[in-house]
Amino acid sequence: MNGKNLAVADGTVVRIEYTLSLADGEIVDSSADDGPLEFLQGAGEIIPGLEAALYGMSTGERKTVVVTPDLAYGEYEPDNYQVVPLDAFEEDVPLEPGMAVEFFDEENDDTVEGYISEIQPDGVVVDFNHWLAGETLHFDVKVVGVRPALPEEIEHGHAHSDSHHHH
């Protein structure tokens, strides 16, 4: 089964090389850093706007995709912040605006990431918007591999890359 001309569809594992830039041309992410991104198409592993644009592409094809915030990381919510008391942070960590901080959300048993937006005398204002919220994203994307997903990948809802195989 050579799958050479397999097109991207739900239930395929896709590998892409990409460069992500903002409207002003600033490059904020690129697969050059970590190698191609591999994911299960249709499983919502990547942002919806990029996933939607990949359908029907095949290996070797490239495309520029512009994704508006509603299909990326959402609009910026001005009230999505919290003031966290200073003693919630470890004392030896220098706090600075723009720093990413993680909190454990006991209600959802999940880690929430936020960014310090300002430091006040009695607490730290943490912005829980994604750092790309409100941004229109420009992807220069090239499909470098498409293969049928394995049954267990479909069952687990994500691609299993070779680097961490566990049985």
Fold of the domain built from segment(s) 81-127: Thrombin, subunit H (2.40.10)
More confident position, 43 or 94: 43
Q: What is the mean pLDDT of residues 4-8?
A: 86
Nearest CA to 72 among 15, 20, 133? 133
Q: What is the mean pLDDT of residues 30-43?
A: 95
For the chain, which residues make up each domain, given as ranges?
12-73+132-164, 81-127
Tell me which DSSP letter residue 10 carries. T
For 19, the 3-state DSSP assignment is: strand
pLDDT given for residue 141 in this prediction: 98
pLDDT given for residue 164 in this prediction: 46
Tell me which DSSP letter residue 94 carries. P
What is the rounded distance in angstroms from the CA atom of residue 105 to the CA atom of residue 96? 22
Q: What is the mean pLDDT of residues 116-139?
A: 94
More confident position, 128 or 165: 128
Distances from the Cα of 17 to the Cα of 6, 31, 44, 45, 66, angstroms? 17, 5, 18, 15, 16
pLDDT given for residue 158 in this prediction: 92
Q: Write out 24-74 in H/E/C secondary structure.
A: CCCEEEEHHHHCCEEEECCCCCCCHHHHHHHCCCECCCEEEEEECHHHCCC
Fold of the domain built from segment(s) 12-73+132-164: Chitinase A; domain 3 (3.10.50)
Please report which confidence band the pLDDT of residue 167 belongs to, taking 50, 70 and 90 as the band edges. very low
32: which residues sit within 8 A by CB, 6+ positions away? Answer: 17, 19
Provide the β-strand partners of residue 23: none
pLDDT given for residue 165 in this prediction: 41
The string over 36-63, giving b where at least 16 C-beta atoms fall within 10 Å of a residue's C-beta and e elsewhere, is bbbbbbbbeebbebbbebbeebebeeee
More confident position, 136 or 3: 136
Least confident span in 24-28, 101-105, 137-141: 101-105
pTM, to two decimals: 0.80
What is the rounded distance in angstroms from the CA atom of residue 128 to the CA atom of residue 115? 6
- In the chain, % of residues over pLDDT 90: 75
pLDDT given for residue 4 in this prediction: 62
Tell whether the model's pLDDT for residue 160 goes beyond 90.
Answer: no
More confident position, 76 or 103: 76
